[in-house]
A and B are shown apart, each in its own frame.
Chain A
């Protein structure tokens, strides 16, 4: 396993992202939800640049105790990253596709060390 330097840790604030080259591939590194995440910049759907998409909280329905619908809200505990080509959403914490859990983004370990951020490949 080798490491790729991404950037200095201070450069990647919450909500920030960097794209780095790994040969012909691109890896997207994001700081979101207080943690670092790295994914191959290829959506498992049709290959879109998923790491360049919107980061947004999961949408959920509000259902009352009597099972009636009361609207929608964002779940502040679950962040998604959305492929900008078609809108496929992925849970940033797990990489799993929100609409079909059998599919997932390719994840890489991210290391924050001595003021730097590295991706293990």
Chain B
């Protein structure tokens, strides 16, 4: 694989890309810190469902749509069904695994290539359990045809629960919800709750459906009753009217991944959904952490002046937000560490924060981003890296830690 430079003399030639080699320094970090003895649950990491897209398309129920999908796929690839948009996640080849990982040689040991490649990075990072999400489907909530989202969501959910998750007990998933169709969303949680490896359900927040619509209430009630978390996974939409003002991917990403979750979170709180579903575990994924103190302060300040507009609330908005859960990545490692420490305090990180790597994406975080924080006690590090997730998802960790785990 040749990755072009600005001058051919500096072109980078990578032969025999191997995930374990690429992450060799991560393995050294894990060894130096003794992380193999620490429960690490990666609540948000990814695979590329488009690497195996044709088998997923075969799971589409609607025969006419399946026919279109499979034939169009032959010349158009995943864009046959998926909504795509501009994006330069690899920073022009600088983050090399985007170009090389697809050609990685995986030994045919009878396992699924997807699983073998995932286990390679999990072992390098010392991740015990990984909650896998798709990647290009993160834009599917923007697809103009709601029925395509519904069809692909069920096809993907069947594929991952029937093909991928049963193959290894270290793999889990919060399944994709076709949130643009509230009835299909409800059908999805009914059909897949309780299936092996399913630890919750995920809404990609990059869409234009408000979380407070009455049509969703039965889904929230179902999940609350089942004890299964509902997560909101951010992404960006460069054609969004506001984000389209951005002329660089860095801007579209920095604000896009934050704003969609911030808007849905504000709606969730202001409409009093935490009062209606007090036991529903809600997780906000991949917006970083810096937005949370910002939104807490904005909502608290406004709420005390405009209480009548949020009459369901019995506490300050920030107090409801402190009951929610957040994933760590991409953790803004600001130069002012006091800001990060204060953020951890404001969100009750000790009990509410869940480690996520987002691997293999370009802004992935290693477990050392938590383990090396000087202001955290060891128990807090253990909580954030895995014990909080064990509690939230009611995880059985006996296959990785048959004798239990320290601090747990």
Which A residues have a C-beta under 8 Å from some C-beta of B? Answer: 14-15, 24, 32, 41-42, 46-49, 52-57, 74, 79, 82, 84-87, 89, 100, 102
A49 / chain B contacts, CB cutoff of 8 Å: 22, 24-25
Q: Which residue of A lies closest to B361 (CB)?
A: A86
In whole Å, how far is A71's beta carbon from the nearest beta carbon of chain B?
Answer: 12
Tell me, rounded to whole Å, the shortest Cβ–Cβ distance linking A93 to chain B.
Answer: 14
**Contact yes or no, A47 B7, CB < 8 A:** no
- Let me know if B363 and A24 touch, CB within 8 A: no
CB-based contact B7/A54 at 8 Å? no
Give 6 CB contacts A-B under 8 Å.
A14-B9, A49-B24, A54-B3, A54-B10, A82-B91, A84-B97
Q: How many residues on B have C-beta within 8 angstroms of the other chain's C-beta atoms?
A: 28
B25 and A54 form a contact (CB under 8 A)? no
Which residues in A have their C-beta under 8 angstroms from that of B93? Answer: 54
Cα(A14)–Cα(B365), bound, Å = 33
Question: Closest approach, in angstroms, between the C-beta of A101 and any C-beta of chain B?
Answer: 12
Tell me, rounded to whole Å, the shortest Cβ–Cβ distance linking A16 to chain B: 9
Which one of B10, B11, B22, B364 lies within 8 Å of A86 (CB-CB)? B364
- Asked if B96 and A54 sit within 8 Å, CB to CB, the answer is yes
- Tell me the bound Cα distance from A85 to B304 in angstroms: 45
B26 located at the interface, meaning its Cβ lies under 8 Å from any Cβ of chain A in the complex: yes
Task: Tell me if A56 and B363 are in contact (CB < 8 A).
Answer: no
Residue contact B28 to A46, C-beta cutoff 8 Å: no
| A24 nearest CB neighbor, chain B only | B28
Chain B 1-29, CB-CB to A under 8 Å as 1, else 0, gives 00101110111100000000010111011
Contact, CB under 8 Å: B12 / A55: yes
Contact B6 A57, beta carbon cutoff 8 Å: yes
Asked whether B351 is an interface residue with its Cβ less than 8 Å from the other chain, the reply is no
Residues of B within 8 A of A (CB): 3, 5-7, 9-12, 22, 24-26, 28-29, 91, 93-97, 335, 362-366, 368-369
**Min CB gap B89→A, angstroms:** 10
Interface contact B26-A87, CB-CB below 8 Å: no
Find the residue from B91, B97, B369 having the highest chain A CB count within 10 A.
Answer: B91
Q: Which of A42, A46, A79, A85 contacts B369 (CB 8 A)?
A: A46
| Contact A85/B364 with A47-B29, A54-B12, A54-B93 known, Cβ cut-off 8 Å | yes
A41 vs chain B, min Cβ distance (A): 7
Residues A15 and B10 in contact, CB atoms below 8 Å apart: yes
Let me know if A84 and B369 touch, CB within 8 A.
no
Does B94 contact A54, Cβ atoms closer than 8 Å? yes
B6 and A74 form a contact (CB under 8 A): yes
Known: A57-B7, A86-B363. A47 touches B26 (CB 8 A): yes
Q: State A110–B365 Cα separation when bound (angstroms).
A: 33
Interface core residue of B9, B10, B366 (most chain A CB under 10 Å): B10
Least Cβ–Cβ distance between B206 and chain A, in angstroms: 23
CB-based closest 10 A-B pairs: A15-B9, A57-B6, A55-B10, A84-B96, A74-B6, A82-B94, A87-B91, A87-B94, A15-B10, A56-B5
Chain A neighbourhood of B364, CB < 8 A: 85-86
Contact yes or no, B363 A84, CB < 8 A: no
- Enumerate chain A residues within 8 angstroms of B335, measured Cβ to Cβ: 100, 102
Closest chain B residue, CB of each to CB of A74: B6
Residue contact A84 to B22, C-beta cutoff 8 Å? yes
Quote the shortest CB–CB distance from B19 to chain A (angstroms).
12
Chain A residues within 8 Å of B9, by CB: 14-15
B336 to chain A, nearest CB (A): 13
CB pair A46–B5 under 8 Å, yes or no, is: no
**How far apart are the CA atoms of A118 and B150 in the complex, in Å?**
61
Whether the pair A55, B5 counts as a contact (CB closer than 8 A) is yes
With contact pairs A47-B366, A47-B368, A86-B362 given, residues A53 and B6 touching in the complex (Cβ less than 8 Å): no
Contact A32 B10 (CB under 8 A): yes
Chain A residue nearest to B23 in the complex (CB): A85
Contact A56 B94 (CB under 8 A): yes
In the complex the two chains form, what is the Cα distance from A87 to B362 in whole Å? 8
Nearest CB of chain B from residue A98's CB, rounded to whole Å: 11
CA distance A85 to B361 in the complex (A): 9
Q: Is the CB of B96 within 8 A of A53?
A: yes
Query: Given known contacts A47-B368, A53-B94, A54-B3, what 12 new A-B pairs fall within 8 Å (CB)?
Result: A15-B11, A47-B28, A47-B366, A49-B24, A52-B96, A53-B96, A54-B93, A56-B5, A84-B22, A84-B95, A84-B96, A102-B335
Asked whether, in the complex, the Cβ of B25 is within 8 Å of the Cβ of A47, the reply is yes
Enumerate chain B residues within 8 angstroms of A32, measured Cβ to Cβ: 10
- Taking the nearest CB of chain A, how far is it from the CB of B304, in angstroms? 38
Question: Least Cβ distance of B5 to chain A in Å?
Answer: 5
